[in-house]
């Protein structure tokens, strides 16, 4: 345990996404762009399906929430958003950051279009997951070194982790109005908290229901659902 390196005091907030690059150079198709592979909405292989890592667990939970129609899935643009989830997940690298940070995305952005669905999203150059933050670290004894909660969820819990991933995903996808689902929150804890509330407003029900399903069941469901046609905003094609 590395609790000795944590500083004290309790914070009711967390920088879920410290987007440090304020000058995003590419927000249109004029610069960096590429295509995601046609397989981009299928479940990524897990290193050890019998024992998924914390990140793989959060990925499985996010995948399972996005794949079926729900207000949460529709907020992200339907199951086509799995393409963005897959790219983000593959990009994430572990690092050591301030204990308030869950995942940090930074650097230039690239616009990516799924060849399968036409679904478009952006990726930041870097996505780092904090080994010292609330994704992995729970609360120490008696609150002396409290890690921040993620919304109402204790740190280092299934719910906190999936909320963190869904929060990041909201920075990568545009809504119908053309704006990013979640505005950049950079180093601003208040804005980050507000973004987490936005996620929980649409996805809280799905997140709270996760305890009813095991990762094994999710894995089976995800694999069987991988061959389904992705659904998008408009159900008229189905």
Residues at the site binding Zn ion, with contacts judged by CB under 5 A: 16-17, 185, 192, 195
C-beta of 102 vs 230, nearer to Zn ion:
102
CB of 181 to Zn ion, least distance (A): 10
Residue 91 CA to residue 88 CA, distance in Å, equals 5
CB of 75 to Zn ion, least distance (A): 15
CB of 187 to Zn ion, least distance (A): 10
Position with the least CB separation from Zn ion: 17
C-beta of 17 vs 92, nearer to Zn ion:
17
CB of 197 to Zn ion, least distance (A): 11
C-beta of 201 vs 223, nearer to Zn ion:
201
Neighbour tally for 53: CB within 10 Å: 11
Which residues, 6 or more positions from 9, have their beta carbon under 8 angstroms from its beta carbon?
146
C-beta of 61 vs 185, nearer to Zn ion:
185
3-state secondary structure of 33: strand
Residue 88 CA to residue 82 CA, distance in Å, equals 10
3-state secondary structure of 105: strand
Print burial letters for 72-102: b (CB count within 10 Å at least 16), e (below 16): bbbbbbbbbbbbbbbbbbeebeeeebebbbb
C-beta of 187 vs 217, nearer to Zn ion:
187
CB of 70 to Zn ion, least distance (A): 22
């Amino acid at each position: 345990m590395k609790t000795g390196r944590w500083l004290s005091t309790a914070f009711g907030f967390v920088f879920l996404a410290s987007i440090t690059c304020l000058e995003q150079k590419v927000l249109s198709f004029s610069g960096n762009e590429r295509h995601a592979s046609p397989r981009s909405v299928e479940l990524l292989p897990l290193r050890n399906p019998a024992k998924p890592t914390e990140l793989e667990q959060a990925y499985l939970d996010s995948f399972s929430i996005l794949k079926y129609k729900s207000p949460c899935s529709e907020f992200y643009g339907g199951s086509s958003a799995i393409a963005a989830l897959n790219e983000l997940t593959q990009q994430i690298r572990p690092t050591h950051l301030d204990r308030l940070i869950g995942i940090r995305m930074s650097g230039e952005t690239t616009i990516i279009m799924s060849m399968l669905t036409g679904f478009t999203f952006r990726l930041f150059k870097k996505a780092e997951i904090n080994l010292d933050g609330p994704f992995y670290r729970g609360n120490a004894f008696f609150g002396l070194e409290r890690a921040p909660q993620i919304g109402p969820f204790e740190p280092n819990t299934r719910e906190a982790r999936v909320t963190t991933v869904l929060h990041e995903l909201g920075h990568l996808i545009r809504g119908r109005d053309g704006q990013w689902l979640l505005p950049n929150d950079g180093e601003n804890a208040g804005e980050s908290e507000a973004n987490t509330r936005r996620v929980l407003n649409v996805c809280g029900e799905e997140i709270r229901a996760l305890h009813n399903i095991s990762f094994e069941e999710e894995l089976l469901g995800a694999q069987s659902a991988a061959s389904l046609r992705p659904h998008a905003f408009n159900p008229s094609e189905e």
